[in-house]
Amino acid sequence: MRNNSKTVSLIAVKTALIFISITLLTTCGGQQEKSNESASKTSATPEYTENGAIKLVVNSDDLMRFDKEELRVTAGAKVELTLNHTGKLAKAVMGHNVVILKEGTDVAAFAQKAIEAKENDYIPESDDILIHTALIGGGETTMITFEAPDKGSYEFLCSFPGHWGLMRGKFIVE
Ligand SMILES: [Cu+2]
């Protein structure tokens, strides 16, 4: 009888160990996936659409963030830029767009001017804008195509009031 109960408890211990090992393996795998997700903040390796345009995808969220700090294209190339809003908040409270400004534009001054253009989704009348997407809310997506300008380093931002401090990056044309 004693031997039997020892065997039973040994089996119980083994089962517990196997369970712990599986849990550890699963947890490690999950963490690896997460680090892969946040790895790329630039568009260094160009992707192309079926039409041969450079495909740029920028994701934005309810925490006022773009997932890209840098976008890279080549001068004169056809570019397709997609903006996704993965959040839930409405356009009126957490609207996002992508505005690319001409070289040498004072970003702070432009953002200030944009605040006054509420009726035009915060796109002010200005010569400083190279291109811009539509303003979208949570769950929405928008896309524009355009021809990349001359070589240079351009600034992009979200022109919704108060967002450009966090939501901005470089648009680099090589
Ligand atoms: Cu925004």
| Whole-structure pTM value | 0.76
User: What average pLDDT score do residues 35-62 get?
Assistant: 81
Residue among 150, 108, 164, 155 nearest 129 (CA): 155
For ligand 1, the distance from its centroid to the CA atom of residue 11, given in whole angstroms, is 57
pLDDT value at 86 more than 90:
yes
Instruction: Kindly report, residue by residue over 103-131, the tens digit of the pLDDT.
Output: 999 999 999 999 999 999 999 999 999 99
Q: Look at the block and give the residue holding tokens 């702070």.
A: 108
Q: Which two tokens stand for residue 60?
A: 């934005």
For ligand 1, the distance from its centroid to the CA atom of residue 127, given in whole angstroms, is 21
pLDDT value at 80 more than 50:
yes
Please indicate whether residue 105 or residue 9 has the higher confidence score (pLDDT): 105
For ligand 1, the distance from its centroid to the CA atom of residue 23, given in whole angstroms, is 39
User: What pLDDT is stored for residue 45 in this prediction?
Assistant: 76
Instruction: Kindly report, residue by residue over 134-159, the tens digit of the pLDDT.
Output: 999 999 999 999 999 999 999 999 99
C-alpha dihedral, 81 to 87 to 137 to 97, nearest 10°: -40
pLDDT value at 173 more than 70:
yes
For ligand 1, the distance from its centroid to the CA atom of residue 160, given in whole angstroms, is 5
Average pLDDT, the chain: 85
| Sheet with 70-73, side-by-side order of all strands | 70-73, 168-173, 152-157, 99-101, 129-132
With a CB cutoff of 8 Å and minimum separation 6, the contacts of 100 are 129, 130, 131, 132, 154, 155, 156, 171
For ligand 1, the distance from its centroid to the CA atom of residue 128, given in whole angstroms, is 19
Instruction: Kindly report, residue by residue over 21-44, the tens digit of the pLDDT.
Output: 444 444 444 444 444 444 467 766
Q: Give the Cα-Cα-Cα angle 79, 144, 96 (nearest 5 degrees).
A: 120
For ligand 1, the distance from its centroid to the CA atom of residue 57, given in whole angstroms, is 15
For ligand 1, the distance from its centroid to the CA atom of residue 168, given in whole angstroms, is 9
For ligand 1, the distance from its centroid to the CA atom of residue 40, given in whole angstroms, is 20
